[in-house]
A and B are shown apart, each in its own frame.
Chain A
Amino acid sequence: MKTATRRLLLTGIAATLWLGAVVGGLGLASAYEARAGISADAPRAWPPRTRIARREGRVTVLLFAHPLCPCTRASVRELQRIAARGRDRVDITVVLAGAPAEPSALGVDELVVRRLLPTATVLVGEDEARTFSVRTSGQVLAYDERGALAFAGGITPGRGHEGPSVGGDDLLRIALGESPSRGHARVFGCALAGPRARSAQEH
């Protein structure tokens, strides 16, 4: 084989391996981003033992979020977008669970939520997450005016991704007084409790 041909062949092989690895890396990362967390097995009707107040005749939206999960900021922003359009019909409560919601440069604490969602109620602690059987940060539950579960799922298109999503669209419909198209969606975010805590919760 001539030197020039051999060199061309080697360059082609090297370029293919290089670009192949790039494509593989991006594919793996994309697959990770698209992997959903465990959805909540939420009560169909408003549970009586919860401390969260529900006003009759208004839609109650609950967001359960891990304060340090990088995806939380995206969920809060999506909720902010939806709340802005349905503020007359919606009461929002954000439950920060899974880790102490202390002020942190990288996390989402109570102050951040209050800044982004001024009308929202903020609760801290795992009790409400257990009450509503929520396991994944970013889980949103919407109960209609009569206290029936109207929507359960995430409102972001992927881990940490903002933008239009099936869950976000459904929640917006509910906020605007329309019927949701599906009523559920996949949740993208960190786990609110580790396996041990989760086991305790299940028992």
Chain B
Amino acid sequence: MPTTLRHSPGARVGLSIAVATGLYGISFGALSVSSGLDIWQTSALSLLLFSGGSQFAFIGVIAGGGSGAAAAGAAALLGIRNAVYGMQLNALLHPRGWRRFAAAQVTIDESLATSTGQTVLVEQKRGFWVAGLGIFVLWNVFTLIGALAGDAVGDPKQWGLDGAAVAAFLGLLWPRLRSKEAGAIAAVCALATVLTVPLVSPGVPILVAAVVAGAIGWFGFRHGPAGEGLEPDVDPYPGPPDAPGSTDAQAPR
């Protein structure tokens, strides 16, 4: 017997992660306009691209003087993990008809993490939809607020917005550096970036690092206990692993 929506643990966690994540849309909005995009372009990215990492990647390349093609390439490559999340969610929730398209659009780190942290199907569904749709609405509202604020600010450098972008990228990367191997991969890709910056056009070093990372992922693959697998960058269920609601539920396979 499912609990009512009011007392649903999935919906509750989904809502809290939606508020936390939605709020930082404000930083995307502000950084996007300071990178040179206008308010409409900024909002289009949040509405249509809707994947924090990829959106930051796009404006990060543009801000560095990179071409639109390099920006789109970096954003697209960073979105590949969402296909893997989509496979997991499809096996878990089996959305049908138009819901499948809606589910695809709100398939992001946070909705996956909220959903897979629940143990019963109805809560997995509620967690996914509440987190996904909640973040979609709030992320877009706060993107617009951030874009308007960023537009009102004069010189973005004076306000340290280029430093804010650096901090944002590190903040997105940080939760993924959970293992020594992840740290080693990051070190190699950092080196590849530094070495190629003087040699190729802005934006391209990021794609070079992507090729290096892809090769490490493909050729360094080994079967066995969890290698550098793919976990979403958020854990909506902090606390001791034996606390209620924090069980690491696996999708039925």
| A and B found bound together | no
Q: List the interface of chain A (C-beta within 8 A of B).
A: none
